[in-house]
A and B are shown apart, each in its own frame.
Chain A
Amino acid sequence: MPQPLDTFKGFALTFRQIFKKPLTQQYPEYKRAVYPRFRGRHRLWRHENGLEKCVGCSLCAAACPADCIRVVAAENTPDHRVSAGERYARIYEINLSRCIFCGYCEIACPFDAITLGNEYELSEYDRDDQIYTKDMLLAEPIKKIPVQDSELYDTPIPYYKSHS
């Protein structure tokens, strides 16, 4: 049955919305805080003494379902010591255009050398710029991403993320 009265109610409803403030969050100006365990851009970590945690074991590359990590290891020598282990990653590249941000690499890593950070603004004009080298991954992220208070969430942050 057609109900003309309800139709006019619908018109009134749409008209009322004009005077309400839009719900849209204006993205580049307003960045919504991500969850504490949000998986964004990777980073590599160093020990306190400056040595890299990564020992070039390639377990992350093996665990990666998207096959986006490339590790080429080299031996540490006494006068060229880069990492704490026997070997270090001479080349460590992540192709972020292939990465699916599953986080298997950080689970696979025996030294908590790689974790997934909170950064998600990863657009580039060039595909080549999506390949992140070791220097870029070791550097402190420049962009500050707002993160929600972890107290609000009862899922604990895993050890390898909170202590690296």
Chain B
Amino acid sequence: MHEPWWISLIKAFLVINLLLLAFAYTTWFERKLLGRMQNRYGPNRAGPFGLLQPIADLVKLIRKESFFPAAASDLPYIIAPVVSAFTALAAFSVIPFGPGWEINGWQVDGVVVDVPIALILVFALGSIGVYGFIVGGWASESKYSLLGSMRTCAQLVSYEVSLALSVLGVVLMGQSLALTEIVTKQEATLWFVLPQFVGFVIFFIGGVAESARAPFDLPEADSELVAGYHTEYSGMRWGLFQMAEYINLIVLAGLIVTLFFGGWHVPWVERLDAYGPIWFLLKLGIFVSLFIWIRASLPRLRYDQLMRFGWKVLLPVATLNALVTAFFVVLI
């Protein structure tokens, strides 16, 4: 049975709001966890346990003046953060969070839109999102922003290659580009993290670099530089860039869960699959915490180390992984 269009609309509305909420509380959770890892409390003033901190931050960002450099090119300058935030949000729409249910005779899929090329769509949206960073830096008409956006661009483009290659193994094993199909396949066989462990490691590292987080946070490098491409941004425009970064992180965690850890599926206990979103969120949370843990533990890479690691280590290993997987898939 096919899902009627208005259910998709309701789902899209719900998911986008939940995603924004998740983004807000990811920032809270990150600051909290990072604080505890550094023997600090983290935010604890706004509300109980600092739970109102994201809302306070939002109010502050919206009320703050959105500084506008006189020399900036208007349209690209304003559009850039919007593009980044939009693509990040849109990418989540193809990530499945449940097996699908039947409510009052209506079919409800466990994904906002079930497209057959979901994986390509995610990568395509990610690549468009990079434009936001590049154009934002360029349109600011400031040499530091431009240098920052070049740095960001170089990093994101280099790691995108290995990122795309590392999921090739999963695609070959799942024999589909649709993320729902890949999850179903893992449900039928086993989580792809076991046969595709190398692919998982590459995807994980590449993903951390792609979402520009520590130890690959050279685009921002907050302890060394003022900022990267968003030097000339302030107020909620800056907030949109930050939002794009965090939602990319959530999307990345969602992708890892979907591609390698069976998405909403729990092994052995079939009847728990109906509660898919809970398991999905749980797994998502584990990976987001892992990213925060990494941020607390690892020092930032140097630029040449970053490039060397991306091109000379990750890319060959990813290629080899894809080749070996292809070989076994054909053979078996």
Task: Tell me if A20 counts as interface (CB < 8 A to partner B).
Answer: yes
The residues of B that contact A10 with a CB separation of less than 8 Å are: 297-298
Provide the bound-state CA to CA distance between A112 and B296, in Å. Answer: 53
Within A3-61, the residues touching B (CB, 8 Å) are 7, 10-11, 13-15, 17-18, 20, 22-24, 26
Provide the bound-state CA to CA distance between A11 and B33, in Å. Answer: 14
Provide the bound-state CA to CA distance between A140 and B32, in Å. Answer: 41
Residue numbers of B with Cβ under 8 A of A are: 33, 35-41, 293, 296-298
A23 to chain B, nearest CB (A): 5
Provide the bound-state CA to CA distance between A24 and B50, in Å. Answer: 15
A6 to chain B, nearest CB (A): 11
Q: A22 near B35 (CB under 8 angstroms)? A: yes
The residues of A that contact B41 with a CB separation of less than 8 Å are: 22, 24, 26
Residue numbers of A with Cβ under 8 A of B are: 7, 10-11, 13-15, 17-18, 20, 22-24, 26
B160 to chain A, nearest CB (A): 24
CB-based nearest A residue for B33: A18
Q: B298 near A17 (CB under 8 angstroms)? A: no
Q: A18 near B36 (CB under 8 angstroms)? A: yes
Provide the bound-state CA to CA distance between A20 and B293, in Å. Answer: 16
CB-based nearest B residue for A16: B37
Q: Which of A11, A14, A17, A20 has the most CB of B within 10 A?
A: A14
Provide the bound-state CA to CA distance between A20 and B38, in Å. Answer: 10
The residues of B that contact A13 with a CB separation of less than 8 Å are: 297
Provide the bound-state CA to CA distance between A23 and B37, in Å. Answer: 11
11 contacts between A and B (CB under 8 A): A10-B297, A11-B293, A14-B293, A14-B297, A17-B37, A17-B39, A18-B33, A18-B37, A22-B40, A24-B40, A24-B41
The residues of A that contact B293 with a CB separation of less than 8 Å are: 11, 14-15
A5 to chain B, nearest CB (A): 14
Partner of B37, one of A7, A14, A26: A14
The 4 closest A-B pairs by CB, nearest first: A14-B297, A14-B296, A14-B37, A18-B36
Provide the bound-state CA to CA distance between A24 and B38, in Å. Answer: 10
Partner of A22, one of B33, B39, B297: B39
CB-based nearest B residue for A19: B36
The residues of B that contact A18 with a CB separation of less than 8 Å are: 33, 36-37
B289 to chain A, nearest CB (A): 10
Sample of 7 further A-B pairs with CB below 8 A, known A15-B37, A22-B41: A7-B298, A15-B293, A20-B39, A22-B39, A24-B39, A24-B41, A26-B41
Q: B39 near A23 (CB under 8 angstroms)? A: yes
The residues of A that contact B37 with a CB separation of less than 8 Å are: 14-15, 17-18
B29 to chain A, nearest CB (A): 13
B230 to chain A, nearest CB (A): 27
Provide the bound-state CA to CA distance between A14 and B297, in Å. Answer: 6
B36 to chain A, nearest CB (A): 5
Provide the bound-state CA to CA distance between A11 and B296, in Å. Answer: 8
B245 to chain A, nearest CB (A): 22
The residues of A that contact B35 with a CB separation of less than 8 Å are: 22
The residues of B that contact A26 with a CB separation of less than 8 Å are: 41
Provide the bound-state CA to CA distance between A11 and B37, in Å. Answer: 10
Given contacts A22-B41, A24-B41, contact A11 B297 (CB under 8 A): yes
Q: B36 near A22 (CB under 8 angstroms)? A: yes
The residues of A that contact B297 with a CB separation of less than 8 Å are: 7, 10-11, 13-14
Provide the bound-state CA to CA distance between A10 and B299, in Å. Answer: 10
A7 to chain B, nearest CB (A): 7
Q: Which of A7, A11, A13 has the most CB of B within 10 A?
A: A11
Provide the bound-state CA to CA distance between A113 and B296, in Å. Answer: 53
Provide the bound-state CA to CA distance between A17 and B37, in Å. Answer: 5
CB-based nearest B residue for A20: B39
B318 to chain A, nearest CB (A): 19
A13 to chain B, nearest CB (A): 8
Provide the bound-state CA to CA distance between A23 and B39, in Å. Answer: 6
The residues of A that contact B39 with a CB separation of less than 8 Å are: 17, 20, 22-24
A43 to chain B, nearest CB (A): 32
Provide the bound-state CA to CA distance between A18 and B292, in Å. Answer: 12
